[in-house]
Structure 1
Amino acid sequence: MALAKLDVVVLDCPDPRALAGFYAEVLGGTVEDNGEWVDLKVPGGQSLAFQEAPGHVPPKWPSPDDSQQFHLDLVVDDLDVAERGVLALGARPLDVEDRARTFRVYADPAGHPFCLCAS
């Protein structure tokens, strides 16, 4: 049984509107501008989101010394149950102090960040 379902792939970037526009041209779809957060609804496909990241440094690829700079949002039915599950699998908490929020941030065993988000 899976612990979560993939919700959206989020790319951090200096200009979310510009990057969403690029991918809209490449993939089609509708851009929904929410300021620092922009969604790209791709018809019949996985949606993408773009989040403003001040001081963004583009990844170097391939490079074992630099990150790829993206994170996954994973929708879960129960944050506490999913948290126990991902921690048991080797995830590391990054930002889970505010238990009232609808999301919590972790690093996978390789160090890539991801969020568990309440459905």
Structure 2
Amino acid sequence: MTTAPEPPTPRRDHLHPVADVFLALVLLAVDAVAALLASLAGMEAAGYEFFDTGADNSDVSMTRSGVYVAVVGVVVLATAVAAGRGRAYFTAFGQILAGLALLLVAAVALTGSQGS
């Protein structure tokens, strides 16, 4: 009897492409809900009256809402880094695009609120 060494089994360090795409879609949905909630929380903290039909909301600043959305954008970019390190490339790419879009929206909200 010989004891020949067994050939090494190939190691997979990345997600299956279908699982990667599914994770990307789930995280994009979570990102959208988080951005919506952050925006609404920022508007509510700034004094926006949602359910008062006679309220004058023209003087409410969007600065707080923009900051909240920017924080969500930074968190989304952090998840992109984690996904990239885990070799979930579709997820990382989707998170990078979503994070940059959120930061762009926040920048527009912050620069637009400075002029008023």
Q: Same fold (TM over 0.5)?
A: no
Higher strand share: 1
| Structure with more relative contact order (C-alpha pairs < 8 Å, separation 6 or more) | 2
Q: TM-score, normalised by structure 1?
A: 0.22
Q: TM-score, normalised by structure 2?
A: 0.22
The structure whose Rg is larger is: 2
